[in-house]
Amino acid sequence: MTRLFLSIIIAVLGSLFFIGWGLDKLVADQDNTHENPDMFIYQQLIEGFSQQLSTLPETELIKAAEKLAEHYQVSITLDDVNNVALPATLLNQLSQHGGLLLATDEQAYILRKIPQHPQQLIKLQLPSMPEENQQLNIMLTAVLYIGVCAMLILWLFPLARRLFILTTAAAKIGKGDLGVRVPINRFSYINPLEKSFNQMASQIEKLMADNKLLARSLSHDIRTPMSCLRFGVEAALDTKNIEKKDEYLNRMEAELTNMEAMTSAFLSYAGMERQGINLRLETVDINHFITDICHDFQPLAEQYNVALTCQLLEQSINYSLDAHWIHQALQNLISNAVQYAKTSVILSIAVSAKSLKITVEDDGDGLEKNKLDIIFDPFVKLDIERSREQGHFGLGLAICQKVIHWHKGKIVAQNSTNLSGACFIITLPR
């Protein structure tokens, strides 16, 4: 918004300055054209009077001045130089050609010394100037305001156009077209607003896609346990064998437990977006943070006969993050790596001037290249042997991606060049 305010100020002040400067120059040129010739005539007239009176004795100056005034139809009076209070710089101009032009609130006049009578001044009153042309003033004022309005219209046109594009995109999203985005223009006055709008639209589109996927997956996966429950109820009602009835009831209880776990997992994933708004950022020592995570997963690694190794920074740094969610993201990655690894899992850290990288890699069979694009999609399971009955719903990597996105970072999956298995790289901005 700072760019918007600055552009408004520059447009208004710039238009006022240039239009006012142009009008002042036009008026000044007109004044020089019309007023200078008249002033030159009066200066020449008083110069002639001073020369003519200079040839007369002082006793005849008053009568001669009256005759000149009557003959030329002008107002001429004589005055003593001591009666005129002027600074020294202006006193010198009384003896110069054309005399000294002075003015009062009522009228303008020219003073000129008589060369042969330096104590006497000729005072030639100038005729009253005609009143200013009111029509011209009104016209110039109208030109000023019309010019300012034209400048503002020129400034507002690109803004109105960008706002129209933004409004149209919002209307399309309201009608269900969630793929609409505002084309970014770096010269736009509302560039930050357009970027925020596109980010909001992307989040809405992703949220709606996740909800649709959640609804489809839940409706699909709940059918099997529901069918099993119905079959168990019918079987339990039909049998008269107490042992068989107990067996059916135990199976039904197991199915209910699976349904409860599945529903809880799905609802937790659906509500994660609210958690991302209220991250509890805290400054942690990265080496200490990663060391604690490795220590927490050593029992799981020993259970699978896998060596879990941590490669820390030579000199630890502090980083601001939500320790709970980053811990959960790494927990999903490390638990997967331990279960798929053959003998080794490495958790390493690297740091640069712009980013912090956390890498989790194993020496398992690796990832299929044609599935790297969908590996972070929710409810996607690359291993069909890991069933939902075992608590695997295909949400672990999707949760990882959400958590890293909350921290304005990114996560990528690839095959490890070091251990030949899967490799997950988390990049967080510094």
Closest CA to 329 of 305, 309, 347: 347
Q: Which of 203, 386, 389, 261 is nearest to 397 (CA)?
A: 386
Question: How far apart (Å, rounded) are the C-alpha atoms in residues 245 and 363?
Answer: 47
Per-residue pLDDT tens digits for 24-43: 677 666 555 444 566 778 88
The CB-side HSE value for 36 (13 A sphere, CA atoms) comes to 6
Helix residue ranges, H only, 304-352:
323-340
The pTM (predicted TM-score) of the whole model is 0.53
β-partners of residue 80 are 120
Cα(first)–Cα(last) distance of the chain, in Å? 26
Residue corresponding to tokens 């960008």: 162
The two three-digit tokens of residue 168, written as one number: 């149209």
Cα-trace Rg, the chain: 47
Buried b vs exposed e over 331-344: b needs ≥16 C-beta within 10 Å? bbbbbbbbbbbeeb
List all residues 6 or more positions away from 340 whose beta carbon is below 8 Å from its beta carbon: 362, 364, 365, 421, 422
Q: What is the 3-state secondary structure (H, E, C) of 119-152?
A: EEEEEEECCCCCCCCHHHHHHHHHHHHHHHHHHH
Q: What is the pLDDT of residue 411?
A: 92
pLDDT digits (tens, 9 = 90+) for 191-203: 888 888 898 888 7
Pairwise CA distance, residues 147 & 16, whole Å: 8
pLDDT of amino acid 286 = 92
Structure tokens at 426: 């988390």
State residue 217's pLDDT score: 65
Question: Kind and range of the H or E element at 426?
Answer: strand 422-429
Predicted local distance difference test score (pLDDT) of residue 120? 85
Q: Judge whether 126 and 76 are in contact, CB under 8 Å.
A: no
Position 220 scores a pLDDT of: 64
Phi, psi of 236 (to 5 degrees): -65, -35
Q: Which residue positions in the chain have pLDDT lower than 70?
A: 1-6, 23-24, 27-38, 129-134, 213-214, 216-221, 265, 270-277, 379-393
Question: CA 383: distance to chain centroid?
Answer: 45
